[in-house]
Amino acid sequence: HIPAKPATLSEYPLEMLPEIKEYLVQHGIHKLYQHQAEMFLQAMAGNNVIITTSTASGKTLSFLLPVLQQILKNPQSRALFIYPTKALANDQFRALKPFLDFFGKGKIDAGVYDGDTPVNERSRIRNSSNIILTNPEMLNSAFLPHHNQNGFSFIFSNLKFVVIDELHAYRGAFGSHLANVFKRMRRVCDYYNSSPQFFCSSATIANAVELAETICGRRFTLVENDGSPAPEKRYAFIQPPYIDSSKELRKSVSSIAAEFIPDLTVKKHSFITFCKSRKAVEVVLKESRDHLKSNDIPGTDYSDLISGYRGGYKSEERKEIERKMVTGQLKGLVSTNALELGIDIGRIDTTVIAGYP
């Protein structure tokens, strides 16, 4: 059991533009969390910043505020937001929508530039988007090789910020590859006489500054004092029971999860169940739906309130599942770690992890 924690708030920084303050006030944000204000001041001082506050602490707003400040001052400024998965980039674009609607396309425009983006939309993003959301693969295969054509030269000439979300995902060989991609990007930026600031966010890790400096090749400042409130949390560890008298075999974690899910669904809890493999996702999903359709739960068929989510689904299917979960049409998802990297579903109240994380 972890008790609740109150928020630590700070006033708006004096340097913040009145338009940004107006947006925040209209959306009920009359003060910033301590870490958001600290990151804004560090960014205004020209530092590269890594922020490692907790999940759902407002890290997106932390690195978005200094980016908006610069773009509103100079609409020609460009920012690259780099995410490890396409799903996360699309989710963060949804989080940007209120800002885009408030300030209008004349001041701020954004677009997702990945393998699913149509050709005509790619052209529009290159030519007019201040904020471009993409992933390391697109940076390596589309942006850098074609830096002198198709509008990319303008992006690199005016690149002010590179934002790397979920930095802890870039470890091992993947992290080594990304470090080399950024070496290449720095050479391209030098060619265009631009020197972007780097903002990174990560889950709480022990060596955040070391990781950021190794990957980005720059000196970093750490923001780690979390000012966000946290609700009470309870963790339960479940050992599956034995299935025979010899006490040699236990029930599978998948079957235990499949027994949990119907109860959560009927009680209208919003949840995500994480499984270790695509096959486990389909097994748990099928067993859970069978339970929901069986006579164990009389009345309404709740089986359409849960869905699977994993690699292998079509892009349109993934986006539709994400939309239904965000809007509340779905109560739960059974997922691989495809949903592990920060999809923003604020109403989740239960997580079931089937197997060691």
Longest dimension (CA), the chain: 73
Q: What is the pLDDT of residue 246?
A: 84
pLDDT at 135 over 80: yes
* Exposure string over 117-137, b if 16+ CB within 10 A, otherwise e: beeeebeebbeebbbbbbbbe
Report CA torsion sign: 145, 209, 58, 166: positive
Give pTM, 2 decimals: 0.80
Tens-place pLDDT, residues 261-304 = 999 998 889 999 999 999 999 999 999 998 888 755 566 778 88
Detail the DSSP E strand segments found in the chain: 9-10, 32-33, 49-51, 78-82, 110-112, 131-134, 159-164, 197-201, 221-223, 271-274, 306-309, 332-335, 350-353
Q: Would you place residue 186 in the very low, low, confident or very high pLDDT band (cuts 50, 70, 90)?
A: very high
Q: What is the pLDDT of residue 343?
A: 62
Residue showing tokens 């499949």: 258
Mean pLDDT for 35-54 is: 95
Amino acid at site 282: E
Tens-place pLDDT, residues 233-259 = 999 999 999 988 888 899 999 999 999
Tens-place pLDDT, residues 198-240 = 999 987 788 999 999 999 999 999 999 999 998 899 999 999 9
Q: Which residues contact 155 (CB under 8 A, 6 or more apart)?
A: 78, 80, 126, 132, 143
d(CA 245, CA 194): 70
Q: What is the pLDDT of residue 347?
A: 75
Nearest residue to 198 via CA among 174, 180, 214: 214
Q: Are 35 and 223 spatial neighbours (Cβ–Cβ below 8 Å)?
A: yes
Q: Are 13 and 37 spatial neighbours (Cβ–Cβ below 8 Å)?
A: yes
SS3 37: helix
Tens-place pLDDT, residues 322-346 = 888 888 899 999 998 877 665 666 6
Tens-place pLDDT, residues 75-116 = 999 999 999 888 788 888 988 999 999 998 788 999 999 988
Q: Which residues contact 283 (CB under 8 A, 6 or more apart)?
A: 254, 258
